[in-house]
Amino acid sequence: MTEPRAPREEEPEYDWGPDEPAAAPAHPPTQAYGVPHDPTRAEGESLARQAAYQPTVGAGVPLPAQGAGAPAAGAQPLITIGDITVLADSVVTPAGTMPLRGAVWNAVDHSRTEKKTPVYAIVLAVLFVAACGLGLLFLLLSEKRTTGFIQVTVTGGGHHHTTAVPAKGPETWTEVMGQVTYARSISASAM
């Protein structure tokens, strides 16, 4: 084991840890980090009280600002794609509300369907091939399995939101594209 080297003349010796408590910053922060500005907060209210309760959706994701993610009272949704809701004059997403007019819609298929012979069909084919040649007919059995999602994106009014719709089968792409086409048409005809 080696001894720590002695500091050179031009280097000050390092002290481990602070000698005195850190001084308050010259300009204290006016609000807690990550907390939106609240114009109703009194000037002297402490930052700890300001950040005391922050409601979340789940996994620490904060709720949108008051009224940003909720449709107006009595508004009837025209269509819902994942967590995107289209109203008569606006598009409501967790990222906020954007105007329907001029909204740009896009959809991308990230799903795939696999077709394979199940294990039980292979086992039955091996067992019955010796008894009679009809055991090979079990190899004609197959299962289709779809995995992935359809990604739908809407952009407009300075907002951008992407949602993923789970693919339940090969027909999911057609269903979602029908919804996106309808949303595009009402976005183009919105006044």
Name the residue with higher pLDDT: 13 or 146: 146
Structure confidence at residue 150 as a pLDDT band (50, 70, 90): very high
Query: Is 80 exceeded by the pLDDT of residue 158?
Result: yes
Q: Where are the domains of the chain?
A: 82-115+143-189
Percent of the chain with pLDDT over 90: 29
Within 10 Å of residue 36's Cβ, how many Cβ atoms? 9
Rounded to an integer, the average pLDDT of 140-151 is 90
171-81-101-94 Cα dihedral, nearest 10 degrees: -150
Name the residue with higher pLDDT: 1 or 94: 94
How far apart CA 87 and CA 110 sit, in angstroms, is: 27
Query: Is 70 exceeded by the pLDDT of residue 57?
Result: no
Q: What is the pTM of this model?
A: 0.55
Percent of the chain with pLDDT over 70: 61
46-49-51-55 Cα dihedral, nearest 10 degrees: -160
pLDDT in tens, 163-178: 999 999 889 999 999 9
Beta carbons of 112 and 182 less than 8 angstroms apart: no
Q: Which 3 state secondary structure label does DSSP give 86?
A: strand
